[in-house]
Amino acid sequence: MKMKINYLECPKKIPLIYSSEKNHFMMTESIEVRLSDGRLLLIPKGYTTRLFSKANPWKLNSPLSRRRVISKLIHKRLWTEKISEIEYFGSIYEAFVFSNTEYYKWKIGLIPRLKILHFLENLYYKHLSINSYIKTR
């Protein structure tokens, strides 16, 4: 069974479990997310990622945390799927820009009151993290 999320939709619950030994979250159910360009992004059951440097699993399903988590999940999945993203866009730079722009759109759309913080974070990703994007996988 797959959970389906439309563009800029925040689910009532995100199917994640927390592993304290590695400070990682793991998907307990697949999620299919509609992106801003109309494509579907699959975040499969069993997908494991480190969403935050200091995770608090108790706040995972609060309304604000869900908005942050779904934005982060999309961004992390786009980064881990960069090979297919590069093939789709034709260049590593275009894939990188789309990944960060999508993250920014979801953050602004789901948490609009933090626009300035999102803008600054987007500038960081846009200008300083391209080397990290290229070097990882």
List the pLDDT tens digit at each of the 137 positions of the chain: 789 999 999 998 889 888 777 778 899 999 999 999 999 999 999 999 887 766 666 666 677 788 888 988 998 899 888 888 889 999 888 888 898 888 888 888 887 877 777 677 767 766 666 666 666 54
Contact present, 104 and 122 (Cβ < 8 Å): yes
Tell me the C-alpha distance between 65 and 42, whole Å.
21
CA distances from 102 to 24, 33, 58, 80 (A): 23, 12, 27, 14
Amino acid identity for residue 47 in this structure: Y
Q: Which residues contact 15 (CB under 8 A, 6 or more apart)?
A: 3, 27, 28, 29, 31
Contact present, 107 and 101 (Cβ < 8 Å): no
pTM higher than 0.75: yes
pLDDT of 40: 95
What is the DSSP code (8-state) at residue 2?
A: E
Contact present, 125 and 135 (Cβ < 8 Å): no
